Amino acid sequence: MPTIPRVTVFIPVHNRQRYITTAVDSILAQTFTDFELLVVDDGSTDATLDVLAGYTDPRLRVEANPRNLGIPATRNRGLELARGDYIALLDSDDAARPNRLARQVATLDRHPELAQIGSACDFMGADGQRIHRVRRPPQGADDVAASLAFFCALTNRTIMARTAILREHGYSDDFSRCQDYDLHQRMSRTQRMANLGDILVCGREHGGRFTRQTDALGRDRKREICRRALIEAGVTPGEADLDRHYALARPGKLGAALNEDYLDWSEQWLAQLDAANRRSRRYVPEALTRVMTERWAQVCWHARRQLGAGAYLRLIRSPLARHVPTTLLHRLRPSPGWTGRR
């Protein structure tokens, strides 16, 4: 009888013959060795399965769906097939750093209160060249939970979770996009989740990614998750408010709409959310305040291009400014005579 591994590394794959070896090789080269690598092929029509058949490492298990089932069903099948106490997730076009499993296993062993742990990640292009961009999600469990009301604060490709807990919650068929965000937000009702500051995974950016091809669907699904999170906090948003709330985590995309009216709305909305949450206690109030302060600071930072120094004045005059770190205030302070307008 084969030994049960501590960790199952799970990679779902569909038509990734060009990239799958990078993902698989990065796992087989881990410093932590007590794992199985489970790859579930979701009806690939290219040579992905032929590429995988070329491996002889006994830690690699390859399973094939009878037909293309889609992302949520394939992820749920991976949860069913996983044998490890922990399950580490990786996308089929990404790469894990050699110490990824070791760092995350040690963290979950040391913190039994955590259901899952993610990390920071950097990026590469289609050709494998590094892109100068790093995603650094919030680290503390309370801040992660509160951030989920605004954006997905855990990066799926970096997650290691307790298999039984992830299996209990599962992925929803209602979310062909953003099924990870949906899962994290549902889990946050009863589970604690955090992120490491280490960069443990390198994600690949290329035109063939499903997320690149379904932007409109992704926006719709994220809005619905935000709506649900806000209702749980005690605020029922109308469509206009939901659109504006969604933009709080993406102020760079507002363009000319990032004006005085939007700043007025943001201050009032965040105050309303804070008051409702203090009644509902859905999120730790101090954590939500930190998250809202960061959102407010980012909105003001982006508004400087249209409003000039007035955006900085709005920032420091707001009640939220009490919680903005002094170092950030200094960084946002405009130089004398600068307006920011073009």
Length of the chain: 342
Identify the pLDDT of residue 323: 63
Half-sphere exposure of 255 (CA within 13 A, CB side): 1
- Rounded Cα distance, 64 and 40, in Å: 6
Which range is most confident: 175-189, 213-227, 269-283? 269-283
For the ranges 150-164, 234-248, 253-267, 320-334, the lowest mean pLDDT is seen at 320-334
Which CA distances in Å does 166 have to 8, 82, 240, 342? 13, 11, 34, 49
Q: Which of 283, 36, 71 is nearest to 163 (CA)?
A: 36
Identify the pLDDT of residue 326: 60
Average pLDDT over residues 286-312: 88
Taking the C-alpha atoms of 280, 283, 288 and 292 in order, what is their torsion angle to the nearest 10 degrees? -70
Is the pLDDT confidence value at 214 over 70?
A: no
Identify the pLDDT of residue 217: 76
The band of 248, judged by pLDDT with boundaries at 50, 70 and 90, is very high
Q: Which of 65, 54, 64 is nearest to 25 (CA)?
A: 54
The band of 53, judged by pLDDT with boundaries at 50, 70 and 90, is very high
Identify the pLDDT of residue 1: 43
Query: Could you report the per-residue pLDDT of 96-144, keeping only the tens digit for each?
Result: 999 999 999 999 999 999 999 999 999 999 888 898 899 999 999 999 9
Give one DSSP letter per residue of 144-168, joined into a string.
Answer: HHHHTTTS--S-GGG-EEEHHHHHH
Residue % of the chain over a pLDDT of 70: 90
Identify the pLDDT of residue 340: 44
Average pLDDT over residues 69-74: 93
Is the pLDDT confidence value at 29 over 90?
A: yes
Q: Which amino acid is at 41?
A: D
How far from chain centre, in Å, is Cα 211? 13
Is the pLDDT confidence value at 5 over 90?
A: yes
Query: Could you report the per-residue pLDDT of 142-171, keeping only the tens digit for each?
Result: 999 999 999 999 999 999 999 999 999 999
CA angle (175, 179, 182) in 5-degree steps:
95
Which structure tokens are listed for 76?
A: 């749920």
The band of 265, judged by pLDDT with boundaries at 50, 70 and 90, is very high
* Burial grade of 10 (CB within 10 A; 0-12, 13-18, 19 or more): buried
- Rounded Cα distance, 266 and 84, in Å: 45
Which CATH code for domain 7-213?
Answer: 3.90.550.10
Identify the pLDDT of residue 337: 46
Identify the pLDDT of residue 3: 82
Helix (H) or strand (E) holding 9: strand 7-13
The band of 319, judged by pLDDT with boundaries at 50, 70 and 90, is confident
Identify the pLDDT of residue 151: 95
Identify the pLDDT of residue 342: 36
pTM: 0.89
Is the pLDDT confidence value at 290 over 80?
A: yes
The band of 327, judged by pLDDT with boundaries at 50, 70 and 90, is low
Is the pLDDT confidence value at 261 over 80?
A: yes
Spell out the domain ranges in the chain.
7-213, 234-332
Identify the pLDDT of residue 339: 47
Is the pLDDT confidence value at 329 over 70?
A: no
